[in-house]
Amino acid sequence: MSTPTIHTTQVGESGARVVFLHGLMGQGKNFTQAAKALQPEFCSLLVDLPDHGKSAWTDRVDYVVFADTIADHLRVGFAAEGPVHLVGHSMGGKVAMTLALRHPDLLDRLVIVDISPNVSERAGEFAHLLGSLAALDLATLERRSDADEALRGPIPSDTVRQFLLQNLRATDDGGYAWQANLDVLRRDLDVIGDFPEIDAVFDHPVLWIAGEKSDYVEEEDEPVMRALFPRTRLVTIKDAGHWVHSEQPEAFVSALKVFLGAAGSSS
């Protein structure tokens, strides 16, 4: 697999440096609100994962390749002057954990949001969602609202539907196309739900955030998480589902500020 080009957006110019990695079918811009709320104490880099947003497409999902690619990007850019903090949500959390285990010198503190290093059993759920997108006949769309209307049946949740439709972009010829690499992401859902075997331990402070209403982090996930990340602190955000940062933005930012703000006073 060739190294994909990574698209990033920087928010802020000064303060401690924080990198954000989004989840499946997300984009770096999903963390814009959080990044702005962290200013001026923190400067943030919003990353589009490979096969997402404006980053390059690949021929297969591979957490090690994704993590190494982002690490290389950080090493010559945002992290060139020293270690940075890394925040990863869902699929981005698995990329973040992989990066931390393989490139610990690049990171100061790690934040994992509503995901664990255990194998996920959600392939069926995402197969339905992404399959519904793939079944959409883009050639018949005259406006974005047509796509929203067509997906109301298979994807009744307005929140989930709008999240997924952020990946629908207008083309130069007046049509529509998926910005995310939908075919590869659908095909490799089992890989996305898995986690690579890495013989390493990340011995830096880790904040593990779970949503109270989410079942992505279960009690049985803790032994594996703490084996790989022994300095883990688990925090549950009340009244939050899987998209903690968008459902409870103030509590999410507050947790980040407390955890990352303590970096200078303790190791």
CA distance 208 to 206: 6
Contact 240, 213 (CB under 8 A): yes
Q: Which residues of 214-251 are buried (b: 16+ CB within 10 A; e: fewer)?
A: bebbeeebeeebeebbeebeeeebeebbbbbbbbbeeb
Positions marked active-site: 90, 183, 242
